[in-house]
Chain A
């Protein structure tokens, strides 16, 4: 089986982000960027399925600036066989390439590549939309298994355990399908140096949105981006009695 794994270059999850002083967005100059952690889980899962013999080819795809080729190389170091970048200078966090446009781009790639399924992160940690996988599935008329914590692929179908508000739900979906990953699906491996070297030699194709006939004009305009109201914390109490007294008589919450 062939699997397509979309990956995104996003701000590293350890970075403490700053809002731009003109309130137009987030400062990304000289900020560490990495593969979106949910996408790393997706490429790990695809790689495990290949190691188990279920999957024969893994194609990673990204949308972003030329630097996002690094993200594809990381995907190839983990286990992707080749990569495709749809290059654009339009921002990919907020006020730029939106989930609907990403889903349309991925649909065009799916139509070229004909994978048996797509596995991707449930959301990216920059705009936190949690839409792209579901949108891609709908545009293709496929089934979906979102927020997956366990995936089993068999002939013509997948069994997906999903993290839902009340606990866990298991569904069976027909292939082709889109699966989106949650945190507990797996723990991505550490990439080893020889794999990074090998990844440099793998095939990487560059495409443009125009070639695919996709319009990246955003539907949502960003009016402003601000920091959330700061919380006045730092208060301390000496012991349990003082805590109970404060909760009862000062905060009046118990």
Chain B
């Protein structure tokens, strides 16, 4: 068996989640190829070749892949699918957007967001917002899979020496075009890859008050997250959202500030190693999952914590 992993990258470098997906692939078979699709993506392909456990890098470098629109990505992956038993991508908005198109064209039932691998056909995946874990066995010849990165420890980014092979582009579909992007700019670590995450909820009260959360995060070298309530209230942008429909994180330390702990938020963070909850309502459900709960006013506690750390 040979596994194809679709790399997530920014053309010049590979994104960390790719290392988690390669780790998942290696649990199925040690022959893992990595596909890097982009525009002027030589940097990412070279980085991909160094990843531990990657046996070959396929590079498709062509102008139509600048923004990796699903309508252009899917036919390319489909054209390369032939020799592979499994095709894996991260369960990020990129993977979620592209892979079902590939699966449908190959008449395959995709397995989304896997968190464990039993054997080449059998996988675990969370359902019902993570309130149940289903073990499913696929009868399809080819498996199309998206992988929850936080469920697999990453392979090393260095140490490999795979060959890089160019593959032919599949052309522009002409169906869609890129208009613009508004990305949050931050020097902080990426939310899904951070060792420490500090998140704020509705209790923080306003976008200005989120400064408190950010100062604590910066003291700890942490990423900043938020509950859906804080995002819906407009305190922070949507990409901060941790939860069932936002990002799923599993850092070493998760600090929840002014977050009550709705089911949909817990679904996104309950696999963190250590959870700290700071909330004035001692009945808040977040304390039920917290290792260290501190009941009190976040506007007193957070500045004190930031100062004393």
Chain A residues at the B interface, C-beta cutoff of 8 Å: 11, 13, 16-17, 19, 26, 93-95, 98-100, 103, 123, 125-139, 142-147, 149, 159, 162-174, 182-184, 218-228, 231-237, 239-241, 243-244, 246-247, 251, 253-254
Number of A-B residue pairs, CB cutoff 8 Å, is 258
13 examples of A-B residue contacts, CB within 8 angstroms: A17-B132, A19-B132, A93-B127, A130-B112, A146-B97, A165-B92, A166-B183, A167-B183, A171-B178, A172-B177, A173-B175, A218-B109, A247-B253
CB pair B132–A227 under 8 Å, yes or no, is yes
**Smallest distance from the beta carbon of A242 to chain B beta carbons, Å?**
8
B244-283 with Cβ < 8 A to chain A: 244-245, 247, 252-253, 263-264, 270, 273-276
A203–chain B nearest beta-carbon distance, Å: 30
Residues of B within 8 Å of A11, CB to CB, are 128
Are A168 and B181 in contact, with the CB atoms below 8 A? Answer: yes
Considering only CB atoms, which chain A residue lies closest to B221 in the complex? A254
- Taken residue by residue from 264 to 308, chain B's Cβ proximity to chain A (1 for < 8 Å, 0 otherwise) reads as 100000100111100000000001111111110000010011001
- The answer to whether B110 touches A247, judged by C-beta atoms less than 8 angstroms apart, is no
B21-29, B44-52, B66-74, B205-213 - interface stretch: B66-74
Residues on A with beta carbons closer than 8 Å to the beta carbon of B177 = 171-173
Interface centre among B96, B239, B273 (most CB of A within 10 A): B96
Closest to A164 in B: B93
Q: Is B79 an interface residue (CB 8 A)?
A: no
The verdict on B214 contacting chain A, using a C-beta distance below 8 Å, is no
Tell me if B133 and A228 are in contact (CB < 8 A). yes
Is B138 in the interface zone, CB < 8 Å from A?
Answer: yes
B97→A147 contact, CB < 8 A: yes
B136 contacts A by Cβ under 8 Å = yes
Q: Which of A95, A146, A243 contacts B96 (CB 8 A)?
A: A146
The reply to whether B109 and A100 contact each other, CB–CB distance below 8 Å, is: yes
Question: When the two chains form their complex, are residues A235 and B100 in contact, meaning their CB atoms are under 8 A apart?
Answer: no
A234 touches B232 (CB 8 A): no
Across the A-B interface, the 7 shortest Cβ-Cβ residue pairs = A134-B100, A219-B109, A135-B104, A143-B175, A138-B101, A131-B100, A223-B135
**Contacts A219-B139, A234-B287; is A143 near B71 (CB within 8 Å)?**
yes
- Whether B196 and A254, one on each chain, are in contact in the complex, defined by CB atoms closer than 8 angstroms, is yes
- Docked pose: A254 CA to B192 CA in angstroms: 18
What A residues does B196 contact at CB under 8 A? 253-254
B247 touches A165 (CB 8 A): yes
CA distance A227 to B247 in the complex (A): 21
User: 11 extra interchain contacts, Cβ-Cβ under 8 A, other than A100-B104, A135-B103, A166-B181?
Assistant: A16-B263, A94-B136, A128-B129, A138-B101, A165-B239, A171-B67, A171-B176, A222-B135, A234-B287, A234-B293, A251-B253
B108 at the interface (CB under 8 A from A): yes
**Bound-complex Cα distance A135 to B109 (A):** 10
B288 neighbours in A (Cβ, 8 Å):
233-234
User: Chain B residues with Cβ under 8 A from A164's Cβ?
Assistant: 93-94, 181, 239
Please tell me if the beta carbons of B134 and A222 are within 8 angstroms of each other in the complex.
yes
CB distance from A41 to the nearest CB of B (A): 11
B162 within 8 A of A: no
| A116 → chain B closest CB, angstroms | 15
Do residues B134 and A165 form an inter-chain contact, with CB atoms below 8 A?
A: no
Q: Which residue, of A94, A234, A254, has the highest number of chain B Cβ atoms within 10 A?
A: A254
- Considering the chains assembled together, what is the distance between the CA atoms of A182 and B183 in angstroms? 17
Minimal beta-carbon separation of A185 from chain B (angstroms): 11
Interface residues of B in 93-149 (CB under 8 A from A): 93-94, 96-105, 107-113, 122, 126-140
Chain B residues, Cβ within 8 Å of A125: 128-129, 244
B237 interface contact, C-beta 8 A: yes
Contact residues in B for A170 (Cβ distance below 8 Å): 178-181
B128: which A residues are within 8 A, CB to CB? 11, 17, 26, 125-126, 128
CB distance from A100 to the nearest CB of B (A): 5
Cα of A231 to Cα of B250 in the assembled complex, Å: 13
